[in-house]
Amino acid sequence: MEEKQRVAMPRIGEAAPAFTAVNTQGNINFPSDYQGKWVILFSHPADFTPVCTSEIMELAAAQEEFEKLGTKIVVVSADKLVNHLEWKKSMESFRYKDRNPVKIDFPLVSDPDLVIAREYGMIHPNSSSTKDVRGVFIIDPKNKIRAIFFYPMSIGRNLGEIERTLTALQTADQEHVLIPANWIPGEDVLVPNIKSTSDAGDVVKPNDPDFTKPTWYMIFKKGK
């Protein structure tokens, strides 16, 4: 078998690899089709699998929420377009968790030759197995990868945590703050660049209700 070039997984802060492919909405030219938008790229090892189906159904239920966050969803699956079309038709036809059937408005991108999977470092060279193609890449409007998640085939992805991470990234960028552990939108955030007690004194004035200071190097700012 001809050896395929090893492609390392792009790291946080690097540009998301470009690709063109067919999908359930026509053709995709990434990232040029998504300029100025946040993108969450989900990858799947195959169509008509129960765990992946549950994830697509949850994504479809949440697509309006992501749209409000200025974010587009792109799903890549290592299967042929004809299978994508049948899978999409099936998923739009049944009730899930007592919800009425939901139209899937995001593209299901075909990657049967694993070109995209390899560009994103999701599969080993010379391997025909797609079991590791279970990644999530959060990509910002400048096409920089900002967060990466990976899940095994047996465990469904947590859409709540993915949305929380997206919101945290947007909040950190917009407000120039840091996000503490277990943060949820609206909670207090952390002040960055506190390197000395002098810095802390410059930030927090006595009796300022907008700030709390457990210690000099950890200062919380009231959330919005």
Q: What is the pLDDT of residues 139-153, one digit of tens each?
A: 999 999 999 999 988
Percent of the chain with pLDDT over 70: 94
Token digits for 36? 């100025």
pLDDT at residue 3, rounded to an integer = 43
Of the candidates 174, 170, 181, 217, the residue with the CA atom closest to the CA atom of residue 198: 217
Within the chain, all domains assigned CATH 3.40.30.10 are found at 19-157
> How confident is the model at residue 180, as a pLDDT?
98
Amino acid at site 77 = S
pLDDT tens-digit readout, 58-89: 999 999 999 999 999 999 999 999 999 999 99
Question: Do you know the residue count of the chain?
Answer: 224
Question: Which tokens sit at 88?
Answer: 């999409």
pLDDT for res 34: 96
Across the range 181-192, mean pLDDT stands at 97
Work out the percent of the chain whose per-residue pLDDT is above 90.
83
Query: H/E element holding 74?
Result: strand 71-77
Token reading at 100: 């009425």
| Assigned CATH for 19-157 | 3.40.30.10
Contacts of 143 (CB under 8 A, 6+ apart): 15, 16, 31
Can you read off the two tokens belonging to residue 120?
């994103």
pLDDT reported for residue 133:
85
Decide if 201 contacts 188 (C-beta within 8 A): no
- Of the candidates 20, 42, 58, the residue with the CA atom closest to the CA atom of residue 138: 42
In three-state secondary structure terms, 44 is strand
Q: pLDDT for 112-137, tens place per residue?
A: 999 999 899 887 665 556 777 899 99
List residues with catalytic annotation.
52
Contact 93/101 with Cβ under 8 angstroms?
Answer: yes
Cα 17 to its chain centre, rounded Å, is 15
